[in-house]
């Protein structure tokens, strides 16, 4: 199976679909890997790095899309790339179709593209193979994002997260005790902030307390009453609530934001799935924040792109074994043998095969079983 790595054209997308280490593994297993020139440059990987491990450098985007059997990207295709998608190809990337343009869904179905949504792929234990580690990065980044945007020169309140003797630390509210919330709580607590984590899952809160318990961390059930109570004094709010394959639920309304302090900071990590704050809208790494109702909003969908080298290595670590399986055993036998990979297939042979995504898009669902897969 031949693999293509095109250069990402989305603004401020610095990650690359596969780092040289992953290419080396696939080439040794007999695959040809076509890497578009400068595809890895923003993440610190040169064309020479790829050549040394056996990749073929191609000099047009068309070649990176049309010569391989499977295309590995990071972000979902942009409108300019729709025509490059060849009929019957396999495409792997972060799709988030629940909040994608309907025109992309139409193209994927019309061209019978088989898509692997990175946000849905799981291993045999039910852990998100790619989304989980990327969420770990995003959670850890929340602390440094908050540190930066609480500074006066960034328009913030002028608060040091850790506080100093005689001056209290910042108050941080994290909604969602999943991978993002857990890693964010660890970092904020580590720096000395006062942290409250909320979730509707009591067991998740118990596990978090067992893992991070001690001074500086409190857990609460995520009711509207509790959220509003903490919003009144929180300096930083991290929103990390998501439902696989569906749009994120709104957990903070515009009305609820009105009780917050002037220049408080909201980091909506769920913005790649629509966001869970009513006032959120996608921003970019170039202009990552906006102010609404005196509240600073940070809503960058691809925030891990700002640490592109780390993120690209991480995606490669999670992806290489799966793609090697496709190359050695074939696509269909591999997904039949691995239910977690199967769950990440969203479109196949012109059909939406993921029930949650189809429901979110209000489109017809056709299971893989009915297609003989």
- Annotated catalytic residues are 96, 272
Q: Which helix (H) or strand (E) holds 70?
A: strand 70-75
User: Cα–Cα distance between 43 and 16 in angstroms, integer?
Assistant: 7
Question: Closest by alpha carbon to 98, among 355, 326, 297, 338?
Answer: 355
**3-state secondary structure string across 160-210:** CCCCECCECCCEEEEECCCHHHHHHHHHHHHHCCEEEEEECCHHHHHHHHH
The two structure tokens encoding residue 22:
């992953």
Which residues make beta-bridge pairs with 115?
A: 91
Q: Who contacts 260 (Cβ-Cβ below 8 Å, separation ≥6)? A: 231, 232, 234, 237, 295
Which of 309-324 are b and which e, b meaning 16 or more Cβ less than 10 Å from the residue's Cβ?
bebbbbbbebbbebbb
Q: Roughly how many angstroms between the first and final C-alpha of the chain, as a whole number?
A: 19
| Distance in angstroms (rounded) separating the CA atoms of residues 295 and 140 | 22
- Cα separation values, 96 from 112, 117, 240, 290, 344, Å: 18, 7, 15, 23, 11
Taking the C-alpha atoms of residue 92 and residue 170, their distance in angstroms, rounded to an integer, is 40
Q: Which residue has the tokens 């900071």?
A: 265
204 HSE (CA, 13 A, CB side):
18
State the Cα–Cα distance between residues 288 and 145, nearest whole angstrom: 10
**Percentages helix, strand, coil for the chain, rounded to the nearest 5?**
40, 20, 40
């Amino acid at each position: 199976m031949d693999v293509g790595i095109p250069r990402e054209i989305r603004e401020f997308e610095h990650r690359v679909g596969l780092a040289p280490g992953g290419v080396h593994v696939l080439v040794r297993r007999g695959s040809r890997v076509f890497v578009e020139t400068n595809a890895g440059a923003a993440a610190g990987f040169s064309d020479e790095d790829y050549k040394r491990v056996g990749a073929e450098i191609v000099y047009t985007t068309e070649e990176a899309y049309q010569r391989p059997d499977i295309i590995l990207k990071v972000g979902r295709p942009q409108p300019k790339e729709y025509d490059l998608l060849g009929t019957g190809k396999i495409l792997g990337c972060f799709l988030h179709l629940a909040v994608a343009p309907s025109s992309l869904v139409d193209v994927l179905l019309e061209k019978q593209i088989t898509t692997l949504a990175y946000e849905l792929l799981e291993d045999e234990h039910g852990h998100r193979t790619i989304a989980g580690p990327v969420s770990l990065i995003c959670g850890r980044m929340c602390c440094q994002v908050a540190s930066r945007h609480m500074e006066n020169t960034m328009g913030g309140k002028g608060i040091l997260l850790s506080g100093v003797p005689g001056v209290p630390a910042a108050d941080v509210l994290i909604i969602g005790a999943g991978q993002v919330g857990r890693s964010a709580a660890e970092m904020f607590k580590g720096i000395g902030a006062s942290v409250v984590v909320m979730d509707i899952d009591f067991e998740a809160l118990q596990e978090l307390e067992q893992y991070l318990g001690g001074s500086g961390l409190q857990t609460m059930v995520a009711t509207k009453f509790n959220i509003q109570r903490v919003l009144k004094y929180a300096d930083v709010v991290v929103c990390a609530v998501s439902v696989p394959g569906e749009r994120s639920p709104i957990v903070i309304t515009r009305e609820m934001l009105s009780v917050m302090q002037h220049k408080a900071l909201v980091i909506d990590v769920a913005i790649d799935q629509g966001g869970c704050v009513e006032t959120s809208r996608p921003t970019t790494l170039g202009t990552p924040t906006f102010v609404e109702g005196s509240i600073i909003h940070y809503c960058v969908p691809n925030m891990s792109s700002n640490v592109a080298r780390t993120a690209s290595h991480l995606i490669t670590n999670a992806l290489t074994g799966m793609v090697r399986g496709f190359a050695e055993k074939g696509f269909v036998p591999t997904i039949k043998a691995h239910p977690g990979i199967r769950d990440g297939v969203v479109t196949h042979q012109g059909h939406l095969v993921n029930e949650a995504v189809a429901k979110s898009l209000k489109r017809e669902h056709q299971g893989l079983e009915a297609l003989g897969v």
